[in-house]
Protein backbone atom coordinates (compact mmCIF):
# COMPACT_ATOMS: atom_id res chain seq x y z
CA UNK A 1 0.00 0.00 0.00
CA UNK A 2 2.90 2.35 0.81
CA UNK A 3 4.29 1.83 -2.71
CA UNK A 4 0.90 2.62 -4.26
CA UNK A 5 0.62 5.79 -2.19
CA UNK A 6 4.07 6.89 -3.33
CA UNK A 7 2.98 6.36 -6.94
CA UNK A 8 -0.16 8.42 -6.37
CA UNK A 9 1.87 11.15 -4.70
CA UNK A 10 4.13 11.39 -7.76
CA UNK A 11 0.99 11.59 -9.88
CA UNK A 12 -0.47 14.39 -7.75
CA UNK A 13 2.78 16.32 -8.16
CA UNK A 14 2.46 15.85 -11.96
CA UNK A 15 5.75 14.02 -12.34
CA UNK A 16 4.05 11.11 -14.09
CA UNK A 17 2.79 11.13 -17.70
CA UNK A 18 -0.19 13.42 -18.37
CA UNK A 19 -3.70 12.08 -18.33
CA UNK A 20 -7.27 12.51 -17.10
CA UNK A 21 -7.75 13.45 -13.47
CA UNK A 22 -11.22 12.32 -12.37
CA UNK A 23 -12.40 14.40 -9.41
CA UNK A 24 -13.66 11.50 -7.29
CA UNK A 25 -11.48 9.41 -4.95
CA UNK A 26 -12.18 6.38 -7.14
CA UNK A 27 -10.47 7.93 -10.15
CA UNK A 28 -11.09 5.79 -13.24
CA UNK A 29 -12.03 2.73 -11.19
CA UNK A 30 -15.71 2.78 -12.33
CA UNK A 31 -14.67 2.64 -16.01
CA UNK A 32 -12.22 -0.22 -15.47
CA UNK A 33 -14.49 -2.24 -13.18
CA UNK A 34 -17.44 -1.95 -15.59
CA UNK A 35 -15.49 -3.26 -18.58
CA UNK A 36 -14.72 0.06 -20.29
CA UNK A 37 -10.94 -0.26 -20.18
CA UNK A 38 -10.64 -0.01 -23.96
CA UNK A 39 -12.64 3.20 -24.07
CA UNK A 40 -10.49 4.64 -21.27
CA UNK A 41 -7.16 3.72 -22.93
CA UNK A 42 -8.35 4.98 -26.32
CA UNK A 43 -9.38 8.30 -24.82
CA UNK A 44 -6.06 8.65 -22.99
CA UNK A 45 -4.11 7.96 -26.20
CA UNK A 46 -6.14 10.41 -28.31
CA UNK A 47 -6.11 13.16 -25.69
CA UNK A 48 -2.67 12.81 -24.10
CA UNK A 49 -0.43 10.88 -26.50
CA UNK A 50 1.75 7.79 -26.39
CA UNK A 51 2.50 8.03 -22.66
CA UNK A 52 -0.36 8.81 -20.29
CA UNK A 53 -1.48 7.92 -16.79
CA UNK A 54 -4.58 7.88 -14.62
CA UNK A 55 -5.47 6.96 -11.07
CA UNK A 56 -7.54 3.77 -10.72
CA UNK A 57 -8.69 3.59 -7.14
CA UNK A 58 -5.57 3.44 -4.98
CA UNK A 59 -3.29 2.56 -7.89
CA UNK A 60 -1.69 4.39 -10.79
CA UNK A 61 -2.16 3.03 -14.32
CA UNK A 62 0.27 4.09 -17.06
CA UNK A 63 -0.63 3.55 -20.73
CA UNK A 64 2.40 2.94 -22.98
CA UNK A 65 1.64 3.00 -26.72
CA UNK A 66 4.80 3.88 -28.63
CA UNK A 67 7.04 0.89 -29.52
CA UNK A 68 10.23 2.63 -28.44
CA UNK A 69 8.89 2.83 -24.90
CA UNK A 70 7.43 -0.68 -25.14
CA UNK A 71 10.88 -2.03 -25.97
CA UNK A 72 12.14 -0.51 -22.73
CA UNK A 73 9.36 -2.20 -20.76
CA UNK A 74 9.37 -5.64 -22.38
CA UNK A 75 13.02 -6.04 -23.31
CA UNK A 76 15.64 -3.55 -22.14
CA UNK A 77 14.42 -3.23 -18.54
CA UNK A 78 12.12 -6.21 -18.40
CA UNK A 79 13.29 -7.24 -14.89
CA UNK A 80 11.60 -4.12 -13.58
CA UNK A 81 8.28 -4.80 -15.33
CA UNK A 82 6.90 -8.14 -14.21
CA UNK A 83 3.79 -10.27 -14.42
CA UNK A 84 3.06 -9.79 -10.75
CA UNK A 85 -0.51 -11.05 -10.82
CA UNK A 86 -1.63 -12.88 -13.96
CA UNK A 87 -5.43 -12.88 -14.06
CA UNK A 88 -5.43 -16.44 -15.45
CA UNK A 89 -3.46 -17.82 -12.50
CA UNK A 90 -6.68 -19.18 -10.95
CA UNK A 91 -6.93 -21.41 -14.02
CA UNK A 92 -3.34 -21.97 -15.19
CA UNK A 93 -1.62 -22.04 -11.81
CA UNK A 94 2.15 -21.71 -12.24
CA UNK A 95 2.17 -22.75 -15.89
CA UNK A 96 4.49 -20.89 -18.26
CA UNK A 97 2.14 -17.98 -19.14
CA UNK A 98 1.68 -17.04 -15.47
CA UNK A 99 5.13 -17.77 -14.03
CA UNK A 100 7.95 -15.34 -13.30
CA UNK A 101 11.68 -15.17 -12.67
CA UNK A 102 13.83 -18.28 -12.60
CA UNK A 103 10.77 -20.57 -12.59
CA UNK A 104 9.65 -19.02 -15.87
CA UNK A 105 13.16 -19.34 -17.34
CA UNK A 106 13.40 -23.06 -16.50
CA UNK A 107 9.93 -23.76 -17.88
CA UNK A 108 10.73 -21.81 -21.05
CA UNK A 109 13.96 -23.80 -21.58
CA UNK A 110 11.98 -27.00 -21.15
CA UNK A 111 9.25 -26.18 -23.68
CA UNK A 112 11.03 -24.03 -26.28
CA UNK A 113 12.77 -26.86 -28.23
CA UNK A 114 9.41 -28.47 -28.98
CA UNK A 115 8.03 -25.35 -30.71
CA UNK A 116 10.92 -24.14 -32.85
CA UNK A 117 10.32 -24.29 -36.65
CA UNK A 118 12.38 -27.45 -37.19
CA UNK A 119 10.23 -29.31 -34.63
CA UNK A 120 6.85 -28.40 -36.12
CA UNK A 121 6.54 -31.58 -38.20
CA UNK A 122 5.44 -33.25 -34.94
CA UNK A 123 2.17 -31.33 -35.27
CA UNK A 124 1.52 -32.11 -38.96
CA UNK A 125 -0.58 -35.25 -38.52
CA UNK A 126 -2.54 -33.65 -35.70
CA UNK A 127 -3.36 -30.55 -37.76
CA UNK A 128 -4.32 -32.67 -40.76
CA UNK A 129 -6.55 -34.90 -38.60
CA UNK A 130 -8.41 -32.00 -36.99
CA UNK A 131 -8.96 -30.32 -40.38
CA UNK A 132 -10.22 -33.55 -41.93
CA UNK A 133 -12.93 -33.67 -39.26
CA UNK A 134 -13.77 -30.00 -39.84
CA UNK A 135 -14.07 -30.53 -43.61
CA UNK A 136 -16.61 -33.30 -43.00
CA UNK A 137 -18.46 -31.14 -40.49
CA UNK A 138 -18.64 -28.18 -42.87
CA UNK A 139 -19.56 -30.42 -45.77
CA UNK A 140 -22.73 -31.45 -43.97
CA UNK A 141 -23.53 -27.82 -43.18
CA UNK A 142 -22.93 -26.77 -46.81
CA UNK A 143 -25.11 -29.57 -48.17
CA UNK A 144 -27.90 -28.39 -45.88
CA UNK A 145 -27.37 -24.81 -47.17
CA UNK A 146 -26.94 -23.83 -43.55
CA UNK A 147 -25.23 -21.14 -41.53
CA UNK A 148 -22.62 -21.51 -38.81
CA UNK A 149 -21.40 -19.34 -35.96
CA UNK A 150 -17.86 -19.02 -37.23
CA UNK A 151 -16.44 -18.06 -33.85
CA UNK A 152 -17.85 -21.23 -32.31
CA UNK A 153 -16.59 -23.32 -35.24
CA UNK A 154 -13.06 -21.96 -34.93
CA UNK A 155 -13.14 -22.56 -31.17
CA UNK A 156 -14.16 -26.17 -31.84
CA UNK A 157 -11.30 -26.58 -34.32
CA UNK A 158 -8.58 -25.08 -32.14
CA UNK A 159 -9.69 -27.01 -29.06
CA UNK A 160 -9.40 -30.17 -31.14
CA UNK A 161 -5.91 -29.10 -32.24
CA UNK A 162 -4.87 -28.48 -28.62
CA UNK A 163 -6.18 -31.86 -27.45
CA UNK A 164 -4.39 -33.70 -30.24
CA UNK A 165 -1.09 -31.93 -29.52
CA UNK A 166 -1.25 -32.40 -25.76
CA UNK A 167 -2.40 -36.00 -25.41
CA UNK A 168 -3.05 -37.59 -28.81
CA UNK A 169 -6.74 -37.31 -27.97
CA UNK A 170 -9.32 -35.59 -30.15
CA UNK A 171 -12.45 -33.56 -29.57
CA UNK A 172 -15.52 -35.79 -29.70
CA UNK A 173 -19.01 -36.06 -28.25
CA UNK A 174 -17.41 -37.61 -25.16
CA UNK A 175 -15.77 -34.25 -24.47
CA UNK A 176 -18.95 -32.17 -24.47
CA UNK A 177 -18.69 -31.44 -20.75
CA UNK A 178 -14.96 -30.71 -21.04
CA UNK A 179 -15.50 -28.32 -23.95
CA UNK A 180 -18.21 -26.46 -22.07
CA UNK A 181 -16.06 -26.29 -18.94
CA UNK A 182 -13.07 -24.90 -20.87
CA UNK A 183 -15.11 -22.24 -22.63
CA UNK A 184 -16.84 -21.15 -19.41
CA UNK A 185 -13.61 -21.13 -17.40
CA UNK A 186 -11.79 -19.05 -20.00
CA UNK A 187 -14.75 -16.66 -20.15
CA UNK A 188 -14.67 -16.33 -16.36
CA UNK A 189 -10.99 -15.43 -16.40
CA UNK A 190 -11.46 -13.01 -19.28
CA UNK A 191 -14.67 -11.28 -18.19
CA UNK A 192 -13.93 -7.57 -18.52
CA UNK A 193 -16.03 -6.70 -15.50
CA UNK A 194 -14.18 -9.19 -13.29
CA UNK A 195 -10.95 -7.21 -12.90
CA UNK A 196 -11.61 -6.97 -9.17
CA UNK A 197 -12.90 -10.40 -8.19
CA UNK A 198 -14.02 -11.72 -4.89
CA UNK A 199 -11.83 -14.63 -3.70
CA UNK A 200 -12.90 -18.00 -5.10
CA UNK A 201 -13.66 -19.12 -1.56
CA UNK A 202 -16.62 -16.73 -1.54
CA UNK A 203 -19.56 -18.86 -2.81
CA UNK A 204 -21.01 -16.48 -5.41
CA UNK A 205 -22.85 -18.04 -8.32
CA UNK A 206 -19.98 -17.18 -10.72
CA UNK A 207 -17.34 -18.55 -8.36
CA UNK A 208 -19.27 -21.76 -7.75
CA UNK A 209 -19.70 -22.33 -11.47
CA UNK A 210 -16.03 -21.63 -12.16
CA UNK A 211 -14.91 -24.06 -9.47
CA UNK A 212 -17.12 -26.74 -11.04
CA UNK A 213 -15.59 -26.07 -14.48
CA UNK A 214 -12.11 -26.17 -12.96
CA UNK A 215 -12.92 -29.54 -11.44
CA UNK A 216 -13.96 -30.92 -14.84
CA UNK A 217 -10.75 -29.69 -16.46
CA UNK A 218 -8.57 -31.01 -13.64
CA UNK A 219 -10.26 -34.42 -13.77
CA UNK A 220 -9.52 -34.71 -17.49
CA UNK A 221 -5.88 -33.65 -17.03
CA UNK A 222 -5.23 -35.93 -14.06
CA UNK A 223 -6.78 -38.92 -15.85
CA UNK A 224 -4.61 -38.20 -18.91
CA UNK A 225 -1.49 -38.00 -16.71
CA UNK A 226 -2.38 -41.30 -15.04
CA UNK A 227 -2.94 -42.99 -18.41
CA UNK A 228 0.40 -41.73 -19.70
CA UNK A 229 2.20 -43.04 -16.64
CA UNK A 230 0.60 -46.47 -17.07
CA UNK A 231 1.44 -46.99 -20.73
CA UNK A 232 4.72 -45.06 -21.21
CA UNK A 233 4.36 -45.39 -25.01
CA UNK A 234 2.98 -41.93 -25.77
CA UNK A 235 4.81 -39.36 -27.89
CA UNK A 236 2.87 -36.18 -27.27
CA UNK A 237 3.48 -32.98 -25.30
CA UNK A 238 2.18 -34.46 -22.05
CA UNK A 239 4.61 -37.37 -22.41
CA UNK A 240 7.40 -34.84 -22.95
CA UNK A 241 6.53 -33.07 -19.67
CA UNK A 242 6.42 -36.39 -17.77
CA UNK A 243 9.75 -37.50 -19.21
CA UNK A 244 11.27 -34.18 -18.22
CA UNK A 245 9.91 -34.51 -14.69
CA UNK A 246 11.96 -37.69 -14.29
CA UNK A 247 15.12 -36.21 -15.80
CA UNK A 248 15.05 -32.67 -14.42
CA UNK A 249 14.59 -33.48 -10.74
CA UNK A 250 12.30 -32.30 -8.01
CA UNK A 251 11.50 -28.82 -9.38
CA UNK A 252 8.86 -30.34 -11.70
CA UNK A 253 6.26 -31.28 -9.11
CA UNK A 254 2.99 -33.07 -9.81
CA UNK A 255 1.23 -29.74 -9.37
CA UNK A 256 3.49 -28.08 -11.94
CA UNK A 257 2.86 -30.96 -14.38
CA UNK A 258 -0.84 -30.24 -14.01
CA UNK A 259 -0.33 -26.48 -14.45
CA UNK A 260 1.87 -26.91 -17.53
CA UNK A 261 -0.58 -29.37 -19.10
CA UNK A 262 -3.54 -27.03 -18.53
CA UNK A 263 -1.50 -24.13 -19.95
CA UNK A 264 -0.66 -26.12 -23.09
CA UNK A 265 -4.29 -27.17 -23.50
CA UNK A 266 -5.81 -23.74 -22.92
CA UNK A 267 -3.00 -21.26 -23.51
CA UNK A 268 -3.38 -20.89 -27.26
CA UNK A 269 -6.70 -22.33 -28.39
CA UNK A 270 -8.67 -19.15 -27.64
CA UNK A 271 -6.23 -16.76 -29.32
CA UNK A 272 -5.79 -19.04 -32.36
CA UNK A 273 -9.56 -19.28 -32.75
CA UNK A 274 -9.88 -15.49 -32.66
CA UNK A 275 -7.16 -15.11 -35.31
CA UNK A 276 -9.04 -17.48 -37.61
CA UNK A 277 -12.40 -15.84 -36.98
CA UNK A 278 -11.15 -12.34 -37.84
CA UNK A 279 -9.29 -13.66 -40.89
CA UNK A 280 -12.53 -15.05 -42.33
CA UNK A 281 -14.37 -11.83 -41.47
CA UNK A 282 -11.80 -9.63 -43.22
CA UNK A 283 -11.61 -11.87 -46.29
CA UNK A 284 -15.40 -11.75 -46.56
CA UNK A 285 -15.25 -7.96 -46.74
CA UNK A 286 -12.42 -7.75 -49.32
CA UNK A 287 -13.14 -9.43 -52.65
CA UNK A 288 -9.68 -8.75 -54.08
CA UNK A 289 -7.87 -10.22 -51.07
CA UNK A 290 -10.12 -13.28 -51.23
CA UNK A 291 -9.45 -13.74 -54.96
CA UNK A 292 -5.69 -13.60 -54.37
CA UNK A 293 -6.06 -16.17 -51.61
CA UNK A 294 -7.91 -18.54 -53.96
CA UNK A 295 -5.29 -18.03 -56.67
CA UNK A 296 -2.56 -19.05 -54.24
CA UNK A 297 -4.21 -22.04 -52.56
CA UNK A 298 -6.20 -23.62 -55.39
CA UNK A 299 -3.06 -25.08 -57.05
CA UNK A 300 -2.68 -27.21 -53.91
CA UNK A 301 -5.56 -29.28 -55.37
CA UNK A 302 -7.07 -30.17 -52.01
CA UNK A 303 -3.82 -30.74 -50.12
CA UNK A 304 -3.42 -29.21 -46.67
CA UNK A 305 -0.19 -27.19 -46.41
CA UNK A 306 1.83 -28.24 -43.36
CA UNK A 307 5.27 -27.60 -41.86
CA UNK A 308 7.20 -28.40 -45.04
CA UNK A 309 5.20 -25.66 -46.81
CA UNK A 310 6.22 -22.85 -44.45
CA UNK A 311 7.03 -19.84 -46.62
CA UNK A 312 5.34 -21.31 -49.70
CA UNK A 313 2.09 -19.32 -49.26
CA UNK A 314 3.18 -15.68 -48.95
CA UNK A 315 -0.24 -14.12 -49.54
CA UNK A 316 -2.03 -16.42 -47.09
CA UNK A 317 0.66 -15.68 -44.52
CA UNK A 318 0.36 -11.94 -45.18
CA UNK A 319 -3.42 -12.14 -44.66
CA UNK A 320 -2.84 -13.73 -41.25
CA UNK A 321 -0.25 -11.14 -40.22
CA UNK A 322 -2.49 -8.26 -41.29
CA UNK A 323 -5.43 -9.81 -39.44
CA UNK A 324 -3.33 -10.10 -36.30
CA UNK A 325 -2.21 -6.51 -36.70
CA UNK A 326 -5.78 -5.22 -36.85
CA UNK A 327 -7.28 -7.66 -34.34
CA UNK A 328 -4.58 -8.98 -31.97
CA UNK A 329 -6.22 -11.70 -29.86
CA UNK A 330 -4.69 -10.31 -26.67
CA UNK A 331 -5.44 -6.66 -27.21
CA UNK A 332 -4.00 -5.43 -23.88
CA UNK A 333 -1.76 -6.77 -21.14
CA UNK A 334 -0.33 -5.35 -17.87
CA UNK A 335 3.08 -5.20 -16.24
CA UNK A 336 3.80 -4.39 -12.60
CA UNK A 337 6.50 -1.79 -11.92
CA UNK A 338 8.91 -3.17 -9.31
CA UNK A 339 11.12 -0.09 -8.80
CA UNK A 340 10.98 3.60 -9.69
CA UNK A 341 11.81 4.20 -13.35
CA UNK A 342 11.53 6.82 -16.07
CA UNK A 343 10.09 6.71 -19.59
CA UNK A 344 10.10 9.63 -22.00
CA UNK A 345 11.20 12.00 -19.27
CA UNK A 346 8.29 11.07 -16.97
CA UNK A 347 8.41 9.24 -13.64
CA UNK A 348 7.09 5.67 -13.62
CA UNK A 349 6.80 5.00 -9.89
CA UNK A 350 7.16 1.60 -8.23
CA UNK A 351 3.79 0.01 -7.62
CA UNK A 352 2.26 1.37 -10.82
CA UNK A 353 0.66 -0.83 -13.44
CA UNK A 354 1.84 -0.35 -17.02
CA UNK A 355 -0.78 -1.22 -19.65
CA UNK A 356 0.41 -2.14 -23.15
CA UNK A 357 -2.18 -2.38 -25.91
CA UNK A 358 -1.08 -4.05 -29.15
CA UNK A 359 -4.44 -2.98 -30.59
CA UNK A 360 -3.51 0.70 -30.24
CA UNK A 361 0.17 0.36 -31.13
CA UNK A 362 -0.60 -1.63 -34.26
CA UNK A 363 -2.95 1.11 -35.44
CA UNK A 364 -0.48 3.93 -34.74
CA UNK A 365 -0.62 6.35 -37.72
CA UNK A 366 3.07 7.22 -37.38
CA UNK A 367 3.98 3.56 -37.86
CA UNK A 368 1.35 2.18 -40.21
CA UNK A 369 0.10 4.05 -43.33
CA UNK A 370 -3.71 3.90 -43.44
CA UNK A 371 -3.62 2.04 -40.13
CA UNK A 372 -7.30 1.01 -40.08
CA UNK A 373 -7.32 -0.46 -43.60
CA UNK A 374 -7.00 -4.18 -44.21
CA UNK A 375 -3.94 -4.35 -46.48
CA UNK A 376 -2.00 -7.65 -46.43
CA UNK A 377 0.32 -6.20 -49.07
CA UNK A 378 2.26 -4.45 -46.30
CA UNK A 379 3.55 -7.82 -45.08
CA UNK A 380 4.86 -8.98 -48.45
CA UNK A 381 8.44 -8.47 -49.53
CA UNK A 382 8.91 -4.77 -50.16
CA UNK A 383 5.87 -3.85 -48.08
CA UNK A 384 5.61 -0.84 -45.82
CA UNK A 385 5.86 -2.41 -42.36
CA UNK A 386 7.68 -0.21 -39.83
CA UNK A 387 11.42 -0.82 -39.81
CA UNK A 388 12.62 1.51 -37.06
CA UNK A 389 10.52 0.20 -34.19
CA UNK A 390 10.69 -3.54 -33.56
CA UNK A 391 7.79 -3.54 -31.11
CA UNK A 392 5.34 -2.09 -33.63
CA UNK A 393 3.74 -5.53 -34.12
CA UNK A 394 3.22 -7.48 -30.88
CA UNK A 395 0.45 -9.96 -31.56
CA UNK A 396 2.68 -12.74 -30.19
CA UNK A 397 4.13 -10.50 -27.49
CA UNK A 398 7.61 -9.01 -27.61
CA UNK A 399 10.99 -9.66 -26.08
CA UNK A 400 11.97 -12.78 -24.10
CA UNK A 401 8.32 -13.50 -23.24
CA UNK A 402 7.23 -13.73 -26.86
CA UNK A 403 4.68 -16.56 -27.10
CA UNK A 404 6.50 -19.91 -27.09
CA UNK A 405 3.99 -21.27 -29.63
CA UNK A 406 4.09 -18.41 -32.14
CA UNK A 407 5.44 -20.53 -35.02
CA UNK A 408 2.88 -23.26 -34.32
CA UNK A 409 0.05 -20.71 -34.22
CA UNK A 410 1.03 -19.34 -37.64
CA UNK A 411 1.23 -22.88 -39.03
CA UNK A 412 -2.20 -23.80 -37.66
CA UNK A 413 -3.94 -20.64 -38.88
CA UNK A 414 -2.45 -20.70 -42.40
CA UNK A 415 -3.11 -24.44 -42.73
CA UNK A 416 -6.73 -24.02 -41.64
CA UNK A 417 -7.37 -21.09 -43.97
CA UNK A 418 -5.78 -22.83 -46.94
CA UNK A 419 -7.48 -26.17 -46.32
CA UNK A 420 -10.99 -24.85 -45.70
CA UNK A 421 -10.97 -22.01 -48.25
CA UNK A 422 -10.10 -24.48 -51.02
CA UNK A 423 -13.38 -26.25 -50.36
CA UNK A 424 -15.83 -23.72 -48.92
CA UNK A 425 -17.04 -20.19 -49.46
CA UNK A 426 -18.26 -18.23 -46.45
CA UNK A 427 -20.60 -15.24 -46.65
CA UNK A 428 -21.47 -13.10 -43.67
CA UNK A 429 -25.07 -13.02 -42.52
CA UNK A 430 -26.08 -9.73 -40.92
CA UNK A 431 -24.06 -6.72 -39.87
CA UNK A 432 -20.27 -6.44 -39.86
CA UNK A 433 -18.76 -7.80 -36.63
CA UNK A 434 -17.90 -5.44 -33.80
CA UNK A 435 -15.00 -6.38 -31.50
CA UNK A 436 -15.70 -7.20 -27.88
CA UNK A 437 -12.74 -6.09 -25.78
CA UNK A 438 -12.61 -8.92 -23.25
CA UNK A 439 -9.36 -10.79 -22.53
CA UNK A 440 -9.25 -11.92 -26.15
CA UNK A 441 -10.68 -9.88 -28.96
CA UNK A 442 -13.76 -11.67 -30.25
CA UNK A 443 -16.72 -10.52 -32.37
CA UNK A 444 -19.52 -9.42 -30.08
CA UNK A 445 -22.39 -11.86 -30.34
CA UNK A 446 -20.47 -14.25 -32.58
CA UNK A 447 -20.17 -14.22 -36.38
CA UNK A 448 -22.90 -15.89 -38.42
CA UNK A 449 -21.82 -16.98 -41.90
CA UNK A 450 -23.52 -18.94 -44.67
CA UNK A 451 -21.43 -21.83 -45.89
CA UNK A 452 -21.33 -23.20 -49.47
CA UNK A 453 -19.10 -25.59 -51.30
CA UNK A 454 -16.74 -24.02 -53.83
CA UNK A 455 -16.81 -25.40 -57.36
Query: Is residue 133 situated within a structural domain?
Result: no
Query: Is residue 29 situated within a structural domain?
Result: yes
pLDDT for residue 193: 46
- Give which of 435, 393, 421, 410 is closest to 151, Cα–Cα: 435
CB-based burial label for 25 (10 Å; 0-12, 13-18, 19+):
exposed
Query: Is residue 23 situated within a structural domain?
Result: yes
| CATH code, domain carrying 6 | 3.30.43.20
Is the pTM for the entire model greater than 0.75? yes
Query: Is residue 324 situated within a structural domain?
Result: no
Number of domains in the chain: 1
CB-based burial label for 191 (10 Å; 0-12, 13-18, 19+):
middle
Mean pLDDT, 10 residues at a time, the chain of 455 residues: 70 89 89 90 96 92 95 91 77 83 85 89 93 95 92 93 84 82 84 59 85 93 89 82 79 87 85 94 96 96 94 95 94 91 94 94 93 94 58 83 88 96 95 88 92 90
Query: Is residue 341 situated within a structural domain?
Result: yes
Domain span at 341: 2-86+330-361
Query: Is residue 455 situated within a structural domain?
Result: no
pLDDT for residue 86: 66
Query: Is residue 211 situated within a structural domain?
Result: no
Query: Is residue 264 situated within a structural domain?
Result: no
pLDDT for residue 428: 94
Amino acid sequence: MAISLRALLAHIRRRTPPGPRPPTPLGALPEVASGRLFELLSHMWRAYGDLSSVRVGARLMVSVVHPEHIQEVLATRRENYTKASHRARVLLGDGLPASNGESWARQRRLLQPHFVPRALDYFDSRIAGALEVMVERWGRAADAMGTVDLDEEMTHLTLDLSLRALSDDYLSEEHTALRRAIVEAVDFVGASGQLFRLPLSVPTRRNTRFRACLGTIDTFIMEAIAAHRRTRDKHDLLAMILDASEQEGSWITDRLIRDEAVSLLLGAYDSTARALTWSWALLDSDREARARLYAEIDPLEGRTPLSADRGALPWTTAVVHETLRLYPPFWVFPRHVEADDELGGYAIPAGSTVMISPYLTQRHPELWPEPHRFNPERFLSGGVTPQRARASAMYFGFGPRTCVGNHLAMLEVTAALACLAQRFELTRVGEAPVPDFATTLRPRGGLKMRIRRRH
